[in-house]
Structure 1
Amino acid sequence: MRILDIVSSNIVQDPRVLKQIETIKSITDDYKIVGMNNSKATEERKRSTNFNFLLLGSKKDTSSIFGKLVKRIKFAKGVIKEIKDYQPDVIHANDFDVLFMVYLSGYKKANIIFDAHEIYAKNAFINKFAPISKIVETLEKHIIKTRATSFVTVSHAAKKYYADKGYKKSAYVVTNAPISTIERKYSEKTSVNEIVYQGQIVADRGYEEFVKASMEFKKNDPLFIVRGFGPLEESLREFVTANEANVKLDKPVEVKELVEKLTESDIGVVLTKPISINFEYTISNKIFENLHAGLPVILSPVKEHYYLNDKYDFGIVIDEVTPKDIADAVRKLKMNPELYNRLRHNAIETAKILNWENESKKLKELYLQ
């Protein structure tokens, strides 16, 4: 079996695709992973890989819309050429942009697994333009119906969204849970000393509110940590310095170190705001990393957070992403050791269920069908 896995990221920093690769390697030696080159795909990161991959395009990043469009068109041409040259039996198309490239290739000898990481027609950029959003949704429905063998998405809320919108194939839910590579030993915690928000520092993820919430506490009691990188990093740093906020800005860590680094803290947060359909129905993989680190999680009020927390009871879903609501949830966990330890225990037990070893079984069945 020859499998071609395609994504429009740089691969080496995409946790979901890195896990897909491990699943593919357990099935066949005849595979290739294709992604888009950029400045984050450093030589060191590429040398640390242990799989067959191809990064298309220039490393040079561009901020202009025209430059991004040109780069995307060149990437699409490279993807189509690779499909025709490689002649795969299975194509794993990550997100609609790649699915559309596969469709344009006209290649019909492969089973196509469409993996929707987000509700693409409703993402931050496309959703600004209602006609384009509608075109993307219409095309997506058509291609899934006529060409996709299987349809995968990342959350139960997204699965329901697609069903309600009239998509003809029912989606399989494959969560973006970490691989349980080790039998993790969780140390006892007797107090709450650190609250951590780890991930890409971008808009509408509640970073500003998280930093402001820290100012309701005495210095280092507890310490609030922001760990990651992104467009808001510098403005966040300036705010922390100007206001002497109770926040430590920590440098990002590599994908393989994400869970281990989280274990050093006591509470995790995932604060994606329900400002759009995409944010409302999908889910950040950060929630699963926190669970595997054994941390109770403070969650924003989005559908999948309610779904998972109602089922597994590992955190607190706040009413609104505000500094006050975040601070109140921290106080509740800090002042109530019994609640804290119950949620921590439930997080550890949930990680035994929501892990890639279990989730990948669904993917293997789709590859082998």
Structure 2
Amino acid sequence: MFALVGDVTGSSRALRQLRVLAEAGVPVSVLQTAGPRAPRALPDGATLTVLGVRPGGGPLAFWRAHRAVREAALARPAGLYLASDLYTLPALVAASRRHGARLVYDSRELYTALDSTHGRPYVGAVWGAVERRSIGRADAVLTVGDAIADRLRDRYRIARPTVLYNAPYVAEAGSADRDALRRDLDLPDDGRTIVLYQGLFRDGRGLRALTEAAAAVEGIRLVLIGEGALEAEIRTWSAALGDRLVVHPFVPPDRLAALTPGADLGACLIEPLTESLRLSLPNKLFEYLAAGVPVLASPLPEIRAVVDRGVGVLAAPSDPGAVADALRKALDPDRRARWAAAAPAALAPYTWNEGRRTFRALLDRLLPAT
């Protein structure tokens, strides 16, 4: 059983794991709290149950989701329960104990320091209490990066979690459709450098500085693909910037991967508002590189270790002037070509090519029959 608060079809990480389970011949029951936006993305062998949970955030929303997931999971015996976030972990602890099953916890964030904890320490304390109570019951813990793995090990005195980076599978070099982004978004081929941001529209992603910088630099067209709390504000910016800023709604992961190669530069300007953000290794960073797109990124430790392999330029994410200077450097096509050429080697240690082998080995250990 696989459980997530949200929609697995909107999560590239969840889909990668579900596809490995399908390849292993493991039938999977998926519990989620939102309707699927791309139901065809689910692999064969996965059955989906959408729980009736009122959307929201914070501890109160967690308790509503917990009750719904717990009731559904207790009624569904399984050999393995995979909690794809902290919010489903306590419910799956209960189900795994009732049915004598194995349990995996995927810590996709540093939950004690989420965006929602910024300026609200009591929220982090709640998530810390929930995690401390449940994490030791898991037979295996996964996470997204080495720094967070170390934090979880030290904080809870558990075995170091297995790291599965949020990086895609990289096939043999092929011919990516470099025109799909322009074609799908009806962008004119006018010689402007396309700077792409794909992800959540929310604080901590450098969107204000990026938009101000794009307005100040000639020859830039900024494309934002996603959704989130800043969407209305971003629409206001779009009206002011005209064709310098193009805003497009959420695109499911598989389709987004086909659009990304059409960008000239990918923006990953994470602001260190919380420890989780400071230590993050976002999907988008690796998705750009897998598409052969160099990056404009924050000089945060985990991100910098990737970008310093020669794949882009760093800029202070909340400083429009610094971001503008970085954009001006990226206008040089020869420089971008060098960054793009370095992307495969920089990405290689992080790809799902290795991650899927690690995940499959974990499945083989916990479910020998697979």
TM-score (norm 2): 0.85
Whole-Å separation in 2 of the counterparts to 1:201 and 1:317: 21
Match of 2:229 among 212, 228, 231: 231
Which digits, 9 at most, give the CA deviation of each residue in 1:276-302, with x for residues without a partner?
Answer: 011112222111110111011111132
2:128 maps to which residue?
137
1:16 maps to which residue?
13
- 1:122 partner letter: A
1:358 maps to which residue?
354
Taking only aligned residues, the RMSD between alpha carbons, in angstroms, comes to 2.8
Equivalenced residues, count: 352
Whole-Å separation in 2 of the counterparts to 1:303 and 1:351: 16
Q: Residue 9 of structure 2 contacts residue 252 of structure 2 at CA under 8 Å; is this kept in 1?
A: no
Match of 1:306 among 304, 316, 323: 304
- Post-superposition shift, 1:142? 4.5
What are structure 1's unaligned runs of at least 5 residues? none
2:184 maps to which residue?
none
Secondary structure of 1:228's aligned partner: strand
Secondary structure of 1:165's aligned partner: helix
Secondary structure of 2:142's aligned partner: strand
Whole-Å separation in 1 of the counterparts to 2:359 and 2:141: 10
Q: Residue 201 of structure 1 contacts residue 230 of structure 1 at CA under 8 Å; is this kept in 2?
A: yes
- Post-superposition shift, 1:170? 0.6
- Post-superposition shift, 1:157? 1.8
Matched, 1:78 2:71: yes
Whole-Å separation in 1 of the counterparts to 2:55 and 2:4: 19
1:276 maps to which residue?
274
- Post-superposition shift, 1:137? 2.3
Whole-Å separation in 1 of the counterparts to 2:170 and 2:4: 24
Matched, 1:149 2:145: no
Most deviating of 246-255 and 193-202: 246-255
Q: Residue 235 of structure 2 contacts residue 247 of structure 2 at CA under 8 Å; is this kept in 1?
A: yes
Q: Residue 195 of structure 2 contacts residue 267 of structure 2 at CA under 8 Å; is this kept in 1?
A: yes
Whole-Å separation in 1 of the counterparts to 2:57 and 2:297: 34
Identity of aligned residues (%): 19
- Post-superposition shift, 1:76? 2.6
Report the structure, 1 or 2, having the larger helix content. 2
Q: Residue 310 of structure 2 contacts residue 342 of structure 2 at CA under 8 Å; is this kept in 1?
A: yes
Whole-Å separation in 2 of the counterparts to 1:360 and 1:66: 33
Residues 9-158 of structure 1: pairs in structure 2 closer than 5 A: 9-38=6-35, 41-42=36-37, 45-47=38-40, 49-51=42-44, 52-58=46-52, 62=55, 68=61, 71-82=64-75, 85-86=76-77, 88-105=78-95, 106-107=97-98, 109-126=100-117, 129-131=120-122, 133-145=124-136, 147-158=137-148
- Post-superposition shift, 1:227? 1.7
Whole-Å separation in 2 of the counterparts to 1:306 and 1:99: 31
- Post-superposition shift, 1:173? 1.0
1:258 maps to which residue?
256
Whole-Å separation in 2 of the counterparts to 1:317 and 1:230: 25
What are structure 2's unaligned runs of at least 5 residues? 180-190, 366-370
Matched, 1:213 2:213: yes
Q: Residue 37 of structure 1 contacts residue 55 of structure 1 at CA under 8 Å; is this kept in 2?
A: no
Secondary structure of 2:217's aligned partner: coil
- Post-superposition shift, 1:115? 0.8
Secondary structure of 2:256's aligned partner: helix
- Post-superposition shift, 1:196? 1.0
TM-score (norm 1): 0.85
2:345 maps to which residue?
349
Matched, 1:316 2:313: yes
Which digits, 9 at most, give the CA deviation of each residue in 1:302-343, with x for residues without a partner?
Answer: 221022224x332222234321111111111223x4432221
* Closer/same/farther in 2, CA of residues 33 and 344 from structure 1, 3 Å limit: same
Whole-Å separation in 2 of the counterparts to 1:96 and 1:78: 17
2:284 maps to which residue?
286
- Post-superposition shift, 1:20? 0.4
- 2:159 partner letter: K
* Closer/same/farther in 2, CA of residues 227 and 316 from structure 1, 3 Å limit: same
- Post-superposition shift, 1:116? 0.4
* Closer/same/farther in 2, CA of residues 143 and 294 from structure 1, 3 Å limit: same
- Post-superposition shift, 1:32? 2.1
Whole-Å separation in 1 of the counterparts to 2:7 and 2:127: 23
Which digits, 9 at most, give the CA deviation of each residue in 1:131-155, with x for residues without a partner?
Answer: 453353244245333x211111101
- 2:26 partner letter: D
- Post-superposition shift, 1:64? 8.1
* Closer/same/farther in 2, CA of residues 177 and 360 from structure 1, 3 Å limit: same
